[in-house]
Chain A
Amino acid sequence: MSPKKEVLLKIRNLKIQGYSDETWVDIIKGVDLTLHRGEVMGLIGESGAGKSTIGAAAMGYARDGTRITEDSSIEFDGIELTTSTESERRALRGSRIAYVAQSAAASFNPAHKIIDQHTEAPLHYRLRKRTEAQEDAMDLYERLRLPNPHEIGFRYPHQVSGGQLQRAMTAMAMSCRPDLIIFDEPTTALDVTTQIEVLAAIRDIVDQFNTAALYITHDLAVVAQMADTIKVLLKGNEVEEAPTEEMLSNPKEDYTKSLWAVRSFESPQRTREGRECLISVKNVDAAYASGPKILDDVSFDIYEGMTVAVVGESGSGKSTTARVITGLLPPQKGEVLFKGEPFPPDYRNRNKEQLRQCQMIYQMADTALNPKVRISEIIGRPAQFYSGLKGTALKARVDELLDLIELEPSKYYNRFPPELSGGQKQRIGIARALAAEPSFIVCDEVTSALDQLVAEGILRLLDRLQNELNLAYMFITHDLATVRSIADEVIVMQHGKVVEQGPKDQMFKPPHHPYTDLLLSSVPEMDPNWLTTLLEERGVDNIGDAAAANIDPDDAKIAP
């Protein structure tokens, strides 16, 4: 961390171009970067900032369809990568610079055992004999706290879980004891509880071998745990760079400040008092075709004008619950009541009035809007379909809806979804739901595909609309920060069961159900010492999948 340390990687004026629409376009527009031995630098930025491209460039590697311009300079330990030959560059990869990819499941070759892929580089560079390399692999697996370190390597990648594969890939990157490892969003695809054990393992191993690292991510809280210095990128340009503590406490640039500030929004909590019960889910069991049970005796109520957040990790059954309510998946047992009246289980048996009441907003605005249909028709169709509006009345209604979602009607009326940004598309999705004049909207991870600033705008919009139109939301999410800002009530799900439910203020206070406790404690916080403190409190073996496996949904609540 001290400036006296030897410089390992020095990038000057890095420009990378991508080929699109028959021309070369700048993706990275002149970035400088200096990394010392043993130092971990976090590269953060939103999608399209070019973080991952810089990571590959640090290995002298340009992906297909991109090129590094000739006036760039990438110097690794005194070797200029832009002018060296391909074989010189290749000799560095795997041995002195290693790479950990985002999706471990896709990045391991399905045809070979994990350990054979691990030992490929050491054998290729003749650093070790096969048995030595295998023993070293097992040693690394043990250091990374993989279960059965002596046996796990002899499995094929598809026989191992995602979190374990990600650690196995980190071990593989370590196989030649490189000077530098590029971590390219290594935990983005993982659940929060799994993420934490991978983070802990990565941090340990990098410390133990004093390896320098470039840690690429879009998650501020994650990078705060991992990095010594942080560099913020925006659209291929550097915004600022500073040591982690300083960056967190005292960001200089407006853009950085706005990133730090996004988690500030919090809607005042509403209570059930004086409200009518809108949706009742009663003892629902559900499964797909003849598969295993996905939902097991799920019951909860949603009151009008209130937001109920459903929290859980992938596979917990939160999306399936939404499908049961909307009628896409009729339950095997139990029923859904709307204002006390039973809702037909299959949406095909519901009448227009029933269908109108319950609308959906989707996670991926790209797949939620038909790219070949004009905005006017996307929003206008529900109004036409349910209310029979035509001609000028319809046009007036579409304009009104566009106004409601804060988009200029005349500008957007005739456009197609691909011409809009992610946030604008999500707003159109909201307008389509509103066009039906519903009383209840299912919001399925509506902000998780968006950059943080945009996501905040959407949350504020949803909150405003709720107050104006007295809407009830069922808010499906895995992000507890979102829950904090918008929910009135919270439901926690695990393995298809509701483990805990109640008003938000109670849910964030102990006593918790052990699973809620694990979930809450696994969400990274901005504090750079958060991970260290947590590991001290809980112990390295009481986090992640290992801890989750010991929890039964029926366990009693615990106080800390």
Chain B
Amino acid sequence: MTIFVIGYYALLLAASCAAAYFNKRAAFMLLFSLTLVSFVVGIIGGAGALYAIAVAAGILAMMAMVSYAFREFLILLAGKETAKELRTAPLTAAFGMFIIFTYVIAGIFAPWIAPHGEAEVISSAFAPADANMLLGADQLGRDMFSRLVYGTRNSVGLSLTATIGAFVLGAGAGLLAATKGGWFDQLMGRLADVIMSIPSLIFALLMLSIFGPSMPVIIVAVAIIYAPRVFRLTRAVAGNVVVMDYIEAAKLRGEGTGYLIRREILPNSTAPLIAEFGLEFCFVFLLVAGLSFLGLGIQPPTADWGSMVRENATLISFGEITPLIPAAAIALLTVAVNFVVDWMLHRSSGLKE
């Protein structure tokens, strides 16, 4: 038994007892179950496994602290109403906002942050990390870190454009269908049914095989694929608003469709639509990443996370984690957006009760 192992268990047990003593049930359950798990893990995996747990817990604690600080930071910056909303944000949502904030900074200021050019070959293939190259070099000897930073711009930018496209198409049609009803509503509904009965990745592959993988094709294809999903949600949300008496009152007053959508329906649909935008962005982002990973997305030499995974995949068999870094970058952003959306959905469903 090393000092580390003894200290590890002592600390956990002390913390559990303290939580129990001060009647913090949730904290106690968490700490004590961690203790029990540690016993099992310690026996099977030895000190190394315990060390891994300690590191993971440390990272979690760090993330929690960053999230907490970032939330306080936002509350200070925001106006009174927004600050009140922000106070209800759980740490996961704050963490999500922090990550999104970081990505936005990285994307906008990519050329200033990245130490090397996007396609600049500066060393030999797969060179290990050194002071010059934080994450080593890729298969052509380009700086991984710089490409990662530039990738924020390309991957996120492309997905964002495609999501906005899907939203303009889908939400526009959804609002019109809900307000107008009748044959237009029926037609749009059936059209959405048809497009949605082709799996999204398959549909994207079909279109890319025909029109070739280029940025505009990807954006249009993805927008068409996801517009029906946005349409369905918008139609449902606006459908709930359209049956309200105030819409009937406005119709009876003789208001036109434009006024109805702009002044009466949209202000009551924004919250679910923003949440849906986040969700759709996640789907689009994962789809685009999938396409790039299959070599059918953004074409080289433009840096893109999906293709970076694919290009460096061989390193996995040598136990290197390099290809996992861009993949983790994808996952992290999606998790972050999902955390924020989860909180927003929880808020809007809680308000209904």
Q: Which residues of A contact B (CB under 8 A)?
A: 22, 65, 326-328, 347, 350, 352, 355, 358-360, 362, 364, 367-373, 381-382, 385-386, 432, 436
> Of all chain A residues, which has the CB nearest B267?
A372
Q: Are A370 and B246 in contact (CB under 8 A)?
A: yes
Query: Which 8 pairs across A and B sit closest by C-beta, in order of nearness?
Result: A372-B267, A368-B245, A362-B245, A370-B246, A367-B244, A367-B245, A355-B254, A372-B268
Whole-angstrom CA separation of A372 from B246 in the bound complex: 11
B221-272 residues with Cβ-Cβ distance < 8 A to A are 244-246, 248-249, 251-255, 263-264, 267-268
Whole-angstrom CA separation of A387 from B67 in the bound complex: 54
Partner of B88, one of A22, A327, A359, A369: A22
Tell me the minimal C-beta distance from A439 to chain B in angstroms.
Answer: 15
> Of all chain B residues, which has the CB nearest A364?
B245
> Of all chain A residues, which has the CB nearest B87?
A22
Whole-angstrom CA separation of A350 from B252 in the bound complex: 9
Tell me the minimal C-beta distance from A210 to chain B in angstroms.
Answer: 39
Q: Are A385 and B253 in contact (CB under 8 A)?
A: yes
| Given A22-B88, A368-B245, A369-B246, A360 contacting B267 (CB threshold 8 A) | no
Q: Are B268 and A370 in contact (CB under 8 A)?
A: yes
Pull 30 A–B residue pairs with CB atoms less than 8 Å apart, ordered by A: A22-B88, A327-B252, A328-B248, A328-B251, A347-B251, A350-B254, A352-B254, A358-B252, A359-B252, A360-B248, A360-B249, A360-B252, A362-B245, A362-B249, A364-B245, A367-B244, A367-B246, A368-B245, A368-B246, A370-B244, A370-B264, A370-B268, A371-B268, A372-B267, A372-B268, A373-B267, A381-B253, A382-B253, A385-B253, A436-B253
Whole-angstrom CA separation of A358 from B253 in the bound complex: 9
Tell me the minimal C-beta distance from B102 to chain A in angstroms.
Answer: 28
Q: Are A328 and B252 in contact (CB under 8 A)?
A: yes
Query: Hey, what's the 0/1 contact readout for B39-71 against A, CB within 8 Å counting as 1?
Result: 000000000000000000000000000000000
B13-60 residues with Cβ-Cβ distance < 8 A to A are none
Whole-angstrom CA separation of A355 from B267 in the bound complex: 25
Whole-angstrom CA separation of A371 from B248 in the bound complex: 15
Contacts of B251 in A (CB 8 A): 328, 347
Whole-angstrom CA separation of A326 from B253 in the bound complex: 10
Whole-angstrom CA separation of A298 from B267 in the bound complex: 40
Whole-angstrom CA separation of A368 from B250 in the bound complex: 10
Interface residues on B, range: 10 to 19
Tell me the minimal C-beta distance from B118 to chain A in angstroms.
Answer: 45
Contacts of B353 in A (CB 8 A): 65
Whole-angstrom CA separation of A236 from B253 in the bound complex: 42
Whole-angstrom CA separation of A327 from B268 in the bound complex: 26
Contacts of B252 in A (CB 8 A): 326-328, 347, 355, 358-360
> Of all chain B residues, which has the CB nearest A22?
B88
Whole-angstrom CA separation of A432 from B245 in the bound complex: 13
| Given A362-B249, A364-B245, A432-B249, A370 contacting B254 (CB threshold 8 A) | no
Contacts of A359 in B (CB 8 A): 252
Contacts of B254 in A (CB 8 A): 347, 350, 352, 355, 385
Q: Which residues of B contact A (CB under 8 A)?
A: 88, 244-246, 248-249, 251-255, 263-264, 267-268, 353
> Of all chain B residues, which has the CB nearest A362?
B245
Whole-angstrom CA separation of A65 from B263 in the bound complex: 35
Contacts of B88 in A (CB 8 A): 22
Whole-angstrom CA separation of A65 from B268 in the bound complex: 26
Tell me the minimal C-beta distance from B84 to chain A in angstroms.
Answer: 9
Tell me the minimal C-beta distance from A94 to chain B in angstroms.
Answer: 27
Q: Are A370 and B255 in contact (CB under 8 A)?
A: no
Whole-angstrom CA separation of A355 from B252 in the bound complex: 7
Contacts of A386 in B (CB 8 A): 253
Whole-angstrom CA separation of A85 from B268 in the bound complex: 45
Whole-angstrom CA separation of A382 from B250 in the bound complex: 9
Contacts of A326 in B (CB 8 A): 252
Contacts of A364 in B (CB 8 A): 245
Contacts of A372 in B (CB 8 A): 267-268
Whole-angstrom CA separation of A241 from B264 in the bound complex: 47
Contacts of B255 in A (CB 8 A): 385
Tell me the minimal C-beta distance from A53 to chain B in angstroms.
Answer: 15
Contacts of B246 in A (CB 8 A): 367-370
Contacts of A350 in B (CB 8 A): 254
Contacts of A347 in B (CB 8 A): 251-252, 254
> Of all chain B residues, which has the CB nearest A323?
B248
Tell me the minimal C-beta distance from B352 to chain A in angstroms.
Answer: 12
Contacts of A370 in B (CB 8 A): 244, 246, 264, 267-268
Known pairs A326-B252, A362-B249, A382-B253; list 12 more (Cβ under 8 Å): A347-B252, A350-B254, A355-B253, A355-B254, A360-B252, A367-B246, A368-B246, A370-B264, A370-B268, A381-B253, A386-B253, A432-B249
> Of all chain A residues, which has the CB nearest B248?
A328
Whole-angstrom CA separation of A381 from B245 in the bound complex: 16
Contacts of A360 in B (CB 8 A): 248-249, 252
> Of all chain B residues, which has the CB nearest A435?
B253
Whole-angstrom CA separation of A274 from B263 in the bound complex: 44
Contacts of A352 in B (CB 8 A): 254
Whole-angstrom CA separation of A367 from B267 in the bound complex: 14
Contacts of B264 in A (CB 8 A): 370, 373
Tell me the minimal C-beta distance from B104 to chain A in angstroms.
Answer: 28
Tell me the minimal C-beta distance from B255 to chain A in angstroms.
Answer: 7
Whole-angstrom CA separation of A362 from B88 in the bound complex: 35
> Of all chain B residues, which has the CB nearest A369?
B246
Q: Are B263 and A373 in contact (CB under 8 A)?
A: yes
Tell me the minimal C-beta distance from B212 to chain A in angstroms.
Answer: 45
Contacts of B249 in A (CB 8 A): 360, 362, 368, 432
Tell me the minimal C-beta distance from B162 to chain A in angstroms.
Answer: 30
Whole-angstrom CA separation of A385 from B251 in the bound complex: 12
Whole-angstrom CA separation of A360 from B253 in the bound complex: 10
Contacts of B245 in A (CB 8 A): 362, 364, 367-368
> Of all chain A residues, which has the CB nearest B270?
A372
Contacts of A371 in B (CB 8 A): 268
Contacts of A432 in B (CB 8 A): 249
Contacts of A362 in B (CB 8 A): 245, 249
Whole-angstrom CA separation of A340 from B22 in the bound complex: 81
> Of all chain A residues, which has the CB nearest B255?
A385
Tell me the minimal C-beta distance from B98 to chain A in angstroms.
Answer: 22
Whole-angstrom CA separation of A327 from B245 in the bound complex: 15
Whole-angstrom CA separation of A306 from B254 in the bound complex: 26
Whole-angstrom CA separation of A326 from B252 in the bound complex: 8
> Of all chain B residues, which has the CB nearest A385?
B253
Q: Among B88, B249, B263, find the residue whose CB has the most chain A CB atoms closer than 10 A.
A: B249
Tell me the minimal C-beta distance from B247 to chain A in angstroms.
Answer: 8
Whole-angstrom CA separation of A369 from B264 in the bound complex: 10
Contacts of B263 in A (CB 8 A): 373
Tell me the minimal C-beta distance from B181 to chain A in angstroms.
Answer: 12
Tell me the minimal C-beta distance from B316 to chain A in angstroms.
Answer: 46
Tell me the minimal C-beta distance from B117 to chain A in angstroms.
Answer: 49
Tell me the minimal C-beta distance from B122 to chain A in angstroms.
Answer: 53
Contacts of A355 in B (CB 8 A): 252-254
Contacts of B267 in A (CB 8 A): 370, 372-373
> Of all chain B residues, which has the CB nearest A65?
B353
Contacts of A368 in B (CB 8 A): 244-246, 249
Contacts of A358 in B (CB 8 A): 252
Whole-angstrom CA separation of A372 from B267 in the bound complex: 6
Tell me the minimal C-beta distance from A23 to chain B in angstroms.
Answer: 12
> Of all chain A residues, which has the CB nearest B241?
A370
Tell me the minimal C-beta distance from A379 to chain B in angstroms.
Answer: 12
> Of all chain A residues, which has the CB nearest B254?
A355
Tell me the minimal C-beta distance from A95 to chain B in angstroms.
Answer: 31
Contacts of B244 in A (CB 8 A): 367-368, 370
Whole-angstrom CA separation of A27 from B255 in the bound complex: 43
Tell me the minimal C-beta distance from B22 to chain A in angstroms.
Answer: 19
Tell me the minimal C-beta distance from A440 to chain B in angstroms.
Answer: 13
Whole-angstrom CA separation of A367 from B255 in the bound complex: 18
Whole-angstrom CA separation of A352 from B252 in the bound complex: 10
Whole-angstrom CA separation of A134 from B353 in the bound complex: 38
Whole-angstrom CA separation of A350 from B353 in the bound complex: 40
